[in-house]
């Protein structure tokens, strides 16, 4: 439930923009879609195509791109209502995650660990030796914080997260449930009659404002550190191999798989279920299409797609020809038989 309980004036103050057309004291109870909204709810109009739906909506207040003159709803007029909505959603999410500071009686904290001001440690949390939990950080139930880990200020660690030894998280990092950071990577050499394991003894560095989805895995480096740049967003069930260097503002959508020692440039995007072989470089601002498999370097700003990944325009031509294979086969056979 997206509970607001804020006046339109408070919402305008939260957004820091917008022209209020209506009563600043109107109390918005909840945030709902146009079809479901009632007289005490706030809704939004994404664009001009939704104006008619907004007129028919029962919403008491609206975020709109332009004033709707024949609507009885209170309105906040904004250049980009949907972008403004994301800020409202962020506030709702932050309010939901508020925890009173303190350490639950069932938490186990090593005497050498440092717990910051106003931090929260939930039931069953384990904090190992020489670990640091920053000011106002939240570590939810049954999370494990390994030796020498650092959790930055105002970071949120969801239930069941495992941070192995020597993992460093910057400020305002979010790690969702089931994720494991700093586990040993897949380091084996086929020697003789059995694989030989390569010890993985490095750590993981994660920058500020990074978000990591549920059930993701980020391996520690063989030595040195696996690196994740600030403001990067990592989806559910993403795997990042040992010694990878992921840049700033990168988007890794759910189920992406990146093998060891890959470098991903700032602002790159890897769409869902795409994967990348080891020791490659994906350039700044590059895009890898969904379900693609990358076997060679991708240049800055390049868009690739397919299995193997090729420049998008080339792959689209190939896919178009594949759809004509039965017809082409008949033509070739007719030529050969003539």
How far is Cα 260 from Cα 186, in angstroms, rounded to an integer? 8
Contact between residue 224 and residue 186 where contact means Cβ atoms under 8 Å apart: no
Contact between residue 70 and residue 41 where contact means Cβ atoms under 8 Å apart: no
* Structure-token match 């909505």, residue found: 85
Smallest CA-to-CA distance from 146 within 117, 176, 172, 108 is with: 108
Contact between residue 31 and residue 89 where contact means Cβ atoms under 8 Å apart: yes
Say which of 74, 140, 158, 242 is annotated catalytic: 242
Contact between residue 158 and residue 141 where contact means Cβ atoms under 8 Å apart: no
Pairing of strands 217-219, 194-197: unpaired
- Please spell the DSSP secondary structure of 73-97, one letter per residue: SEEEE-S-HHHHHHHHHHHHHHHHT
- Sign, CA torsion 299/235/216/149: positive
Phi, psi of 55 (to 5 degrees): -60, -35
Is 242 marked active-site?
Answer: yes
How far is Cα 19 from Cα 38, in angstroms, rounded to an integer? 22
269-308: burial string, b at 16+ Cβ within 10 Å, e else: bbbbbbbbeeebbbbbbbbbbeebbbeeebeeebbbbbee
Angle at 33 between CA 31 and CA 37, to 5 degrees: 70
- What residues act catalytically? 242
């Amino acid at each position: 439930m997206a509970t607001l309980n804020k006046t339109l004036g408070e919402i305008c103050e939260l957004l820091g923009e917008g022209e209020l057309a209506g009563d600043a004291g109107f109390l918005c109870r909840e945030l709902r879609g146009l079809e479901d909204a009632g007289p005490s709810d706030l809704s939004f109009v994404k664009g001009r195509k939704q104006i008619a739906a907004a007129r028919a909506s029962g919403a008491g207040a609206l975020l709109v791109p332009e004033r709707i003159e024949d609507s009885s709803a209170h309105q906040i007029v904004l250049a980009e209502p949907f972008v403004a909505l994301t800020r409202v959603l962020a506030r709702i999410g932050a309010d939901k995650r508020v925890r009173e500071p303190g350490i639950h009686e069932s938490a186990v904290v090593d005497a050498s660990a440092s717990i910051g001001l106003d931090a929260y440690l939930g039931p069953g949390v384990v904090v190992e030796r020489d670990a640091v939990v920053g000011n106002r950080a939240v570590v939810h139930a049954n999370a494990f914080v390994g030796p020498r880990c650092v959790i930055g200020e105002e970071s949120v660690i969801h239930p069941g997260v495992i941070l192995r030894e020597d993992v460093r998280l910057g400020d305002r990092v979010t790690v969702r449930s089931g994720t494991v950071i700093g586990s040993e990577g897949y380091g084996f050499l086929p020697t003789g009659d059995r694989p030989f394991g390569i010890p993985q003894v490095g750590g993981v560095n994660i920058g500020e404002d990074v978000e990591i989805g549920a059930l993701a895995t980020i391996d520690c480096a063989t030595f040195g550190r696996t690196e994740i740049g600030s403001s990067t967003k990592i989806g559910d069930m993403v795997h990042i191999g040992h010694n990878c260097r992921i840049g700033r503002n990168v988007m890794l959508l759910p189920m992406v798989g990146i093998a060891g020692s890959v470098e991903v440039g700032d602002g790159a995007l890897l769409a869902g279920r795409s994967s990348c072989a080891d020791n490659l470089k994906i350039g700044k601002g590059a895009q890898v299409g969904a379900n693609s498999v990358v076997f060679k370097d991708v240049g800055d700003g390049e868009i690739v797609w397919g299995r193997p990944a090729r420049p998008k325009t080339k792959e689209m031509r190939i896919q178009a020809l594949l759809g004509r294979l039965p017809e082409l086969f008949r033509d070739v056979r007719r030529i050969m038989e003539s």
